[in-house]
């Protein structure tokens, strides 16, 4: 298991790389995938960021058609090249799953894997959890959380929002792309299993095909396959992360208080605080007015934390209703405030609470929860956020 964790960290480093792409290696791998899909080697156009790539893809629907549902009798040769590559990869992963005895096409987490998430890898093995389940938690789920969930997903959402299609992040907003280095989470799942002797051995053709995806994960950023043209985006020039609070397997999340958490060579980037994607104003000029107009509760919370809760309470003229010890969170208090102007024309209340889980730096963050303006007891308001009664809330061992 130690070997697997060492290899995981190597793949994580590849997924977080801000070095220039190895263009020759990446182009050779894509060319071979095109050939396996029955296509000639494409031309390549390199751009400095995914945002620049989208501008090309959206402007050339002939070579980058929208992915559509296939007719049952439609011949594979009539599929767009992106569809054929997706089919090629789907079949490869099904074969590798079968060899490694992995479940396919499901997000269900086995009980053993869920248990392994609560231990460090060596402790999980000593507790009797199977090596396969520990591997899934310590390697695959760690990489998926750090690279896909924490980086690729918010980046894709930001790109879709910039194209005016924030609700359609998997459709036509940004086109059909693979994530290059951010695909390392699933590539490593198969690669490390084989290196560690857990994959059952892959046949030579599958090993060759997997090696192409591994090369892309180690050599390039996102890429868009089109008819006779493949658009390749450079890797970022800067990536800022922090450890995920209370994790046992080294999961990371984007975070930078001084600028974009991930930035590209053409100036494109996204701002992220403690894993929450935020507009630039949250870093550069948070104010009570902007906070009250912001519809996203997580963005509001991040902006208030930039100001500081004590300063925000004073500047927003919140009126203290009551305060008391938090029975669900020892050594912390609950503070209930009236908010007479929440920015949407409604009177409300704010319950200020302390997080039960320390941050990586040991601090415990304070959070403000919006609650209806019906409470005069902070415990009643806290219980309402959990959907329980005040007496039930008081019996909680520890609020997280």
**What's the confidence (pLDDT) of residue 167?**
46
Residues 156 and 174: beta-carbon distance below 8 Å: yes
**What's the confidence (pLDDT) of residue 273?**
95
**What's the confidence (pLDDT) of residue 124?**
76
Residue-wise pLDDT tens digits, 124-146: 777 888 877 888 888 889 999 99
Residue-wise pLDDT tens digits, 346-388: 578 889 988 777 766 667 778 888 888 899 999 999 899 888 9
**What's the confidence (pLDDT) of residue 85?**
95
Point out the residues of the chain with pLDDT beneath 50. Answer: 71-73, 167-170, 400
**What's the confidence (pLDDT) of residue 202?**
85
CA distances from 40 to 33, 60, 150, 227 (A): 10, 19, 35, 9
On whether the pTM is more than 0.95, the answer is no
Residue-wise pLDDT tens digits, 70-79: 544 455 557 8
**What's the confidence (pLDDT) of residue 73?**
45
**What's the confidence (pLDDT) of residue 398?**
52
Structure tokens at 174: 């940004």
């Amino acid at each position: 298991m130690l070997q697997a964790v060492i290899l995981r960290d190597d793949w994580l480093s590849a997924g977080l790389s801000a070095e220039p792409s190895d263009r020759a290696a990446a182009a050779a791998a894509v060319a071979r995938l095109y050939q396996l899909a029955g296509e000639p080697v494409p031309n390549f156009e390199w751009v400095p960021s995914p945002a620049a790539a989208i501008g090309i893809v959206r402007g050339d629907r002939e070579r980058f058609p929208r992915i559509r549902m296939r007719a049952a009798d439609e011949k594979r040769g009539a599929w767009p090249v992106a569809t054929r590559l997706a089919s090629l990869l789907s079949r490869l992963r099904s074969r590798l799953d079968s060899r490694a005895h992995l479940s396919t096409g499901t997000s269900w987490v086995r009980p053993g894997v869920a248990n392994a998430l609560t231990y460090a890898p060596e402790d999980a093995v000593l507790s009797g959890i199977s090596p396969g389940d520990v591997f899934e938690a310590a390697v695959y789920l760690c990489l998926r959380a750090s690279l896909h969930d924490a980086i690729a997903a918010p980046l894709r959402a930001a790109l879709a929002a910039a194209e005016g299609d924030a609700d359609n992040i998997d459709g036509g907003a940004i086109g059909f792309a693979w994530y290059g280095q951010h695909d390392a989470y699933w590539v490593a799942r198969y690669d490390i299993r084989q290196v560690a002797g857990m994959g059952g051995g892959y046949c030579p053709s599958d090993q060759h095909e997997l090696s192409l995806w591994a090369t892309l994960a180690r050599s390039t950023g996102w890429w868009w396959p089109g008819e006779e043209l493949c658009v390749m985006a450079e890797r970022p020039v800067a990536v800022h992360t922090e450890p995920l609070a209370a994790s046992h397997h080294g999961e990371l999340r984007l975070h930078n208080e001084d600028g974009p958490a991930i930035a590209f060579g053409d100036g494109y980037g996204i701002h992220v605080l403690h894993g929450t994607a935020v507009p630039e104003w949250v870093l550069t000029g948070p104010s009570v007015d902007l906070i009250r107009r912001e519809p996203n509760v997580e963005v509001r919370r991040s902006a208030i934390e930039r100001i500081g809760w004590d300063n925000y309470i004073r500047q927003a003229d919140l009126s203290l209703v009551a305060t008391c010890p938090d029975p669900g969170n020892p050594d912390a208090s609950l503070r209930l405030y009236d908010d007479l102007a929440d920015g949407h024309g409604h009177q409300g209340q704010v319950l200020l609470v302390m997080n039960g889980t320390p941050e990586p730096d040991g601090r415990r963050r304070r959070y403000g929860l919006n609650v209806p303006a019906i409470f005069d007891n902070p415990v009643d308001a806290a219980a309402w956020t959990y959907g329980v009664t005040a007496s039930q809330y008081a019996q909680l061992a520890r609020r997280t």
